[in-house]
Structure 1
Amino acid sequence: MDGWLRLLKQKDKRTIARLITKIEDGSPEKNQLLEKIFPETGKTFLIGLTGPPGAGKSSLIDGLITKIRQVGLSVGVIAVDPTSPFTGGAMLGDRVRMTKHALDTDVFIRSMGSRGNVGGLSRSTREAVRVLDAAGFDVVLIETVGVGQAELEIMHLADTVLLVLNPGAGDIVQVFKAGIMEIADLFVVNKADLSGANRLVTEIEELLDLQQWEWRPPIVQTIASLNQGISECWSQIIKHRQHLEETGEWVKRRQNHLRQEVLELLEDSFYQFLKQEMKKPEFEAELEQVALRRKVPHQVARIWLNRILFGKKE
């Protein structure tokens, strides 16, 4: 076994950090490293946390780390932050709230910049999670950047998705219409000591009543800053995992995640190839014909698709 892989499986924090940095930076070794670790993955329980900025996701994660360690499990955290326009890195860095766990060898926390990705996750998030999976962490918590309805990407990565809301965060009906509520496996009403918490719970219940659910997402009230409701939250997470395993949805969900990943990689590769093709003088000439209204856009698209895929020329 390669030395670095042995250190990775020992949860060596320096090795983990270096691997994730290489992935983020697009190192020439990246694909080779990912191929090495992939057979070691697939065992970690992936929990996603999403919701609007200020909902208290980081405080909730801090409480969950403590709870997960109390039950004897190791935990990794990938927190996706807005990207600094100056450094290109995560603006918040490794979360200040979580520093009390820094010396625990069975806890690893990493912030990643979103790097302009609008889906709530960094493009490298999935691969960084895979590093923690290969390292043998029992649970990995993934916190999205918190940008509202664009955060649907988390459903293609996590086994269980928590939607964190708080009183006064806006019209819950609008959030529901945006589609983000439909990806939740568990609702967490955080900052439940604020006025309006019970009303928010009632509104969520009323909206849930509008649909039939094989798994009706439970609602947990927490005050994460005071560590209240964290045990109940963890209990509901475990119940959801049991539901996934008992119904066969666990395997199905993971297969769908891998299918989605391959599709995204294909789309990205094809897009990069197309960008190169579009630089050719012949393509520019075709665009000129479109600008002069001599050709229709879909006609040019069809011509170039046939040329690229089948070598046909019209």
Structure 2
Amino acid sequence: MMAVPSKQAKRGAYTPSTELVPEILAGRILAIARMISRAEGSYAEASVALAEIYRHTGKAHIVGITGVPGSGKSTLVSSLIKSFASEGYKVGVIAVDPSSPFSGGAILGDRVRMSDAAEACHAFVRSMATRGHLGGLTRSTLQAVDILDAAGYSPIIIETVGVGQDEVEVVRAAHTIVVLSAPGLGDDIQAIKAGILEIADIHVVSKCDKPEASATVSTLQAMMALGTASTRTSWYPSVLAVSSVSGACIRDLKENIGRHWLHLKQSGELAERQHNMCKTRILATAKQLFEHKFNEDAEVLHKHIQAVMSRDMDPTLAAHLLLGWEDKA
């Protein structure tokens, strides 16, 4: 775990994380930003504060925006910020950016593209790096959502890095999933291949002024009519064509997002989604703690790796021994 930054400590400017909690609950921007940085940096000192913050969550509508890279997610989010803010909503955005596999740094371009909309609408936008994590989300992403939730933001939009075949983790982290497709990408069944058709609560086709947009809308509607859409909900996904540049149908999208949130509450499906979200977070955290433990205690892990390499032990037995499941080994 990371210690308190030495430069701040020397200046005496470091505020203990527990002292930031009341400021976060009051919606203080600086405190929110500081706590997200500490969550992202895995400060051990912040764990007590994050646990306290979590007790004040559960009120926000979490909306996941996903789709193939280049489909216009950031531009769509900017338009949604303006639309929600125009009706008095306090909008929070966590934009997950790809990080370099070499330096671990991220381009963080989403914050640049959304800054004008965020500043004009008093929205909170934060870009976070994936740090090599597949699935589009990280543990700190969800902790950042907690912080915004406790601070009174709703909806909270999670914009993923862009999904691939196995990168649909956002479905287990948000209440409403918006899948964005761009017209004229060539392969009409790419959405199915990527595993994203099934997770959508709302389908959106960008750049509706292009002639190819109507064909993409028709293709998505036909796929759902054939029964390839999600069966995890009684909600039937809508398909909307929008233009983030002109603003065409952005209001319709905002209203669809609101209707889905109401549907979850009235149908009882909200409790099921909350259950699945909590289950995913517990298991994901356990996995990360497990990996951290044996990265710290490399000697024990190395011993088992050598045994597996020499074929004296199979990987399943090695895993059982690492977990302390000798009776099951």
TM-score by length of 2: 0.85
- In structure 2, the partner of 1:114 is 130
Q: Identity of paired residues, percent?
A: 36
Where does structure 2 lack aligned partners over 5 or more consecutive residues?
1-17
Matched, 1:230 2:250: yes
- In structure 2, the partner of 1:286 is 307
2:92–2:125 Cα contact (<8 Å) kept: yes
Further displaced range: 18-27 or 104-113: 104-113
Query: 1-side partners of 2:305 and 2:246: how far apart?
Result: 61
Q: Cα gap change, 1:180/1:94 in structure 2, threshold over 3 Å: closer, same or farther?
A: closer
- In structure 1, the partner of 2:190 is 174
Query: 1-side partners of 2:137 and 2:322: how far apart?
Result: 35
Aligned residues: 308
- In structure 2, the partner of 1:22 is 38
Q: Cα gap change, 1:87/1:181 in structure 2, threshold over 3 Å: closer, same or farther?
A: same
Match of 1:165 among 152, 160, 181: 181
Matched, 1:302 2:322: no
Matched, 1:266 2:286: yes
Further displaced range: 164-173 or 103-112: 103-112
- In structure 1, the partner of 2:260 is 240
Match of 1:256 among 263, 276, 279: 276
Trace 1:141-160 onto structure 2 (pairs within 5 A). 141-160=157-176
Q: Cα gap change, 1:274/1:5 in structure 2, threshold over 3 Å: closer, same or farther?
A: closer
- In structure 2, the partner of 1:62 is 78
Query: Per-residue displacement from partner, 1:27-85 (whole Å, max 9, x unpaired)?
Result: 12231121110111010110000001111111111111111111111000000111246
Query: 2-side partners of 1:47 and 1:94: how far apart?
Result: 17
Match of 2:200 among 157, 172, 184: 184
Query: 2-side partners of 1:167 and 1:303: how far apart?
Result: 48
Q: Cα gap change, 1:184/1:285 in structure 2, threshold over 3 Å: closer, same or farther?
A: closer
Give the letter for the 1:163 counterpart.
V
Query: 2-side partners of 1:88 and 1:303: how far apart?
Result: 30
Where does structure 1 lack aligned partners over 5 or more consecutive residues?
none
Query: 2-side partners of 1:312 and 1:272: how far apart?
Result: 24
* TM-fit CA distance, 1:201: 0.8
Query: 1-side partners of 2:249 and 2:322: how far apart?
Result: 60
Query: 1-side partners of 2:258 and 2:322: how far apart?
Result: 52
Q: Give the 3-state SS of the residue equivalent to 1:95 in structure 2.
A: helix
Matched, 1:91 2:107: yes
1:163–1:184 Cα contact (<8 Å) kept: yes
* TM-fit CA distance, 1:297: 2.1
TM-score by length of 1: 0.89
2:304–2:318 Cα contact (<8 Å) kept: no
* TM-fit CA distance, 1:257: 0.3
Query: 2-side partners of 1:52 and 1:180: how far apart?
Result: 9
Runs of 4+ aligned residues of structure 1 deviating over 4 Å after TM superposition are 84-87, 274-278, 310-314
- Compute the RMSD of aligned alpha carbons: 2.6
Give the letter for the 1:137 counterpart.
Y
Q: Cα gap change, 1:202/1:31 in structure 2, threshold over 3 Å: closer, same or farther?
A: same
* TM-fit CA distance, 1:198: 0.8
* TM-fit CA distance, 1:271: 3.3
* TM-fit CA distance, 1:113: 0.9
Q: Cα gap change, 1:256/1:226 in structure 2, threshold over 3 Å: closer, same or farther?
A: same
Give the letter for the 1:180 counterpart.
I
Q: Give the 3-state SS of the residue equivalent to 1:279 in structure 2.
A: helix
Match of 1:133 among 130, 136, 149: 149
* TM-fit CA distance, 1:241: 1.1
1:303–1:313 Cα contact (<8 Å) kept: no
Further displaced range: 209-218 or 138-147: 209-218
Give the letter for the 1:118 counterpart.
L
Query: 1-side partners of 2:328 and 2:70: how far apart?
Result: 55
2:63–2:158 Cα contact (<8 Å) kept: yes
